[in-house]
Structure 1
Amino acid sequence: MTDPDERGRDLPGGAGPMRVAVLGPGAVGGLLGALLAAAGHTVICLAAERTARHVSRHGLRVGSDRFGELAVHVGGAVVLDEPVDACLVTVKAVHLGAALDRLAPERLGGAVLVPLLNGVEHVRLLRDRFPATPTVAASVRVSAARTAPGVVHHRGHLATVDLAAEPRADGVAAALAGAGLDVRRRPEAELLWDKLCFLAPLALLTTSEDAPLGRVRQRRAADLRSVVEEVAAVARAEGVSSDGSAVLDFLGQLPEDFRSSMQLDAAAGVATELDAIGGAVLRAAGRHGVDVPVTAGLVAELGGRPV
């Protein structure tokens, strides 16, 4: 494991040492937390008591095609009880409300909240909940799975974080880049809708088929194109330039066996992010009068399935 005495010394990328809370050390949170800790930052994972106790004792472990094998020391806590410079919010959207109880506004102080959730509506929720704490929109593109408490498998080499182009996010951007992630700075609405434009078709159709993306491309090509075009139209109505053909090209480059987290959750019989992903598209489409029949049909189909 990384020696805690080495933290903060000669950090990669020129970033100074930061204290970072990770709210939800699952697949994304565990990967980012481990990379930040390995790069010399102090990481505190906020989770349920059992998970918090486990990571505090055993740290985080990552097996990655890109970053290799990592085993790092991190802190673990049920609630944030010490000051931090930033808090990465990496729980799933369905668990966000309960997870936020782990963050007392007075403990956040001057920290920056960086939500890395799927969807677009959580940013306003966080700003309403923590008006004195700056929330910087972000999104992440990665294929990772939590295989056990504190253990993450990162598949492939995709590991990109998009951060809103705001000066208050400069420190977080430098820390993430120094930890080895690909970091891009983009306008807020653009980065949120750009991800939703590929995530909604991917999630809805792999879940509908209960199959990986390769089978969707073979059996549901017309639906895939339709949903991509519908979500791109909604994004344009939201003021974001969106090119459906570029989204289809990106989806065409993903591996045949690529599966969405929504499909995996549905197969496991747990609550999915259908509302945060598909529901958000439908609500925005309704506000702007954009017709999205294929997307609406998929949301209705999946919403009618028992969990």
Structure 2
Amino acid sequence: MTGFAQQTDDVGGQVQSTDATIAVLGPGGVGGLLGALLARAGRRVVFLARPDTAAALRRDGLTVRSHRYGDFTVPVDARTELDEPVDACLIAVKQTALDPALTRLSADALGRALVVPLLNGAEHMTALRERYPAPQVVAGTIRVESTRLAPGLIEHVSPFAAIELASHATPRDRLDGLAEGLGRAGIDVTVRDDETAVLWDKLSFLASLALLTTYAGTPIGEVRENRRTELLAVAREIATVAGAAGGTLGAEDVVAALDRVDAGMKSSMLRDAEAGRELELDAIGGSVLRAAERHGLEVPVTAALVADLRDRESRRSSSGSLPSSA
């Protein structure tokens, strides 16, 4: 597989490599961007989506608007479920849509392909490894600000698109090969040794950003300026929980990262709230609260933010203004 390390067979021997085929489950802001970049770089990409989305992609292709990568359109092979062997599958749906989306990706069809969830939160790895062979499921995180404006239209506004990969079960050569292939498409990729640290380091930053920007209804710059005390308190609480769970970032690291991002940056949770979509509140805030309880830690500020956002979402859902997940 050009750009992907040679796979080993079931007894550890090397098998002949071929050009990689990548499946992308969920052609939204993240999956659409990654799949389009891979396709532009010459990879064969199969998108898995709902029937209406798949039909639109087959008809119109996939268009990306990006300051970093430029504006381009690629033709698309879009289907409703995986029906052929692939080398890797990037799972890029929201956590709220994961269970129904996985019906498009049967274990039999998946074969020996790597499964790379680029989901928010820290609890999905267990569920995926119950469904698919553990050595094939790779922990992944992505830093990017990218939005699906319409089926087949992706707007990438951040100057970065950076992925971290790790697995305690997957052979390192397969991780390195996957990273190389993604890198050739222009994506920044780092392979780390500790999958728990990868997930919790991302969640330390993301939970602070998502909960505060969504609660305030403003980009991070206004939070930094007007809610500094809350920002510091939440960062301390979440970093403490993350450290107990296996993360490596301290509160000062999280705050420094939040201070570096563009003032106009909005979290994906805030964008979902503005669009009236279901929030990934349980995957992000809920993960922190459950880990805090497991480790006997008090997180009053974080808990109050989660409770307030849950109440808002409940009231919005009761009013009928909350649409179903895409």
Under TM normalisation by the shorter chain, which class is it? over 0.9
Aligned-partner SS, 2:223: helix
Report what 2:268 is aligned to. Answer: 261
1:169-226 Cα offsets, whole Å, 9 max, x none, are: 2222111111111111112011101110110011001110111111111111111111
Does residue 235 in structure 1 map to residue 237 in structure 2? Answer: no
Counterpart CA distance in 1 for 2:121 and 2:247 is: 15
Report what 1:123 is aligned to. Answer: 125
Counterpart CA distance in 2 for 1:270 and 1:145 is: 13
Judging changes above 3 Å, is the alpha-carbon distance between structure 1 residues 250 and 105 closer, same or farther for their aligned structure 2 residues?
A: same
Report what 1:26 is aligned to. Answer: 28
Judging changes above 3 Å, is the alpha-carbon distance between structure 1 residues 11 and 291 closer, same or farther for their aligned structure 2 residues?
A: closer
Alignment map for 1:99-248 (pairs within 5 Å):
99-131=101-133, 134-164=136-166, 166=170, 167=172, 168-186=174-192, 187-248=194-255
Does residue 300 in structure 1 map to residue 316 in structure 2? Answer: no
Report what 1:35 is aligned to. Answer: 37
Counterpart CA distance in 1 for 2:23 and 2:54 is: 12
Report what 1:45 is aligned to. Answer: 47
Counterpart CA distance in 1 for 2:18 and 2:49 is: 26
Q: Kindly state the Cα deviation for residue 240 of structure 1 after the two structures are TM-superposed.
A: 2.5
Give aligned pairs, total. 299
Please tell me the residue identity of whatever aligns with 1:262: M
Counterpart CA distance in 2 for 1:169 and 1:12 is: 9
Counterpart CA distance in 2 for 1:79 and 1:100 is: 9
Does residue 98 in structure 1 map to residue 100 in structure 2? Answer: yes
Counterpart CA distance in 2 for 1:277 and 1:69 is: 32
1:18-51 Cα offsets, whole Å, 9 max, x none, are: 1111000000000000011111111011010011
Q: Kindly state the Cα deviation for residue 70 of structure 1 after the two structures are TM-superposed.
A: 2.0
1:146-184 Cα offsets, whole Å, 9 max, x none, are: 111111111131110001155232222111111111111
Q: Kindly state the Cα deviation for residue 253 of structure 1 after the two structures are TM-superposed.
A: 1.2
Aligned-partner SS, 1:152: strand
Aligned-partner SS, 1:51: helix
Report what 2:82 is aligned to. Answer: 80
Once superposed, what is the RMSD of the aligned Cα atoms? Answer: 1.9
Please tell me the residue identity of whatever aligns with 2:284: I
TM-score (ref. length: structure 2): 0.88
Counterpart CA distance in 2 for 1:97 and 1:173 is: 26
Report what 2:10 is aligned to. Answer: none
1:227-280 Cα offsets, whole Å, 9 max, x none, are: 111111011111322221121111111111111111111122221000000000
Seq. identity, %: 49
User: Conserved in 1, the CA contact under 8 Å of 2:269 and 2:279?
Assistant: yes
Report what 2:60 is aligned to. Answer: 58
Counterpart CA distance in 1 for 2:62 and 2:187 is: 17
Report what 1:3 is aligned to. Answer: none
User: Conserved in 1, the CA contact under 8 Å of 2:5 and 2:177?
Assistant: no
Counterpart CA distance in 2 for 1:92 and 1:134 is: 21
Q: Kindly state the Cα deviation for residue 132 of structure 1 after the two structures are TM-superposed.
A: 6.4
Please tell me the residue identity of whatever aligns with 2:122: V
Counterpart CA distance in 2 for 1:123 and 1:57 is: 34
Please tell me the residue identity of whatever aligns with 2:27: P
User: Conserved in 2, the CA contact under 8 Å of 1:109 and 1:133?
Assistant: no
Judging changes above 3 Å, is the alpha-carbon distance between structure 1 residues 13 and 145 closer, same or farther for their aligned structure 2 residues?
A: farther
User: Conserved in 2, the CA contact under 8 Å of 1:11 and 1:40?
Assistant: no
Counterpart CA distance in 2 for 1:191 and 1:144 is: 21
Judging changes above 3 Å, is the alpha-carbon distance between structure 1 residues 52 and 251 closer, same or farther for their aligned structure 2 residues?
A: same
Counterpart CA distance in 2 for 1:56 and 1:175 is: 24
Judging changes above 3 Å, is the alpha-carbon distance between structure 1 residues 98 and 12 closer, same or farther for their aligned structure 2 residues?
A: closer
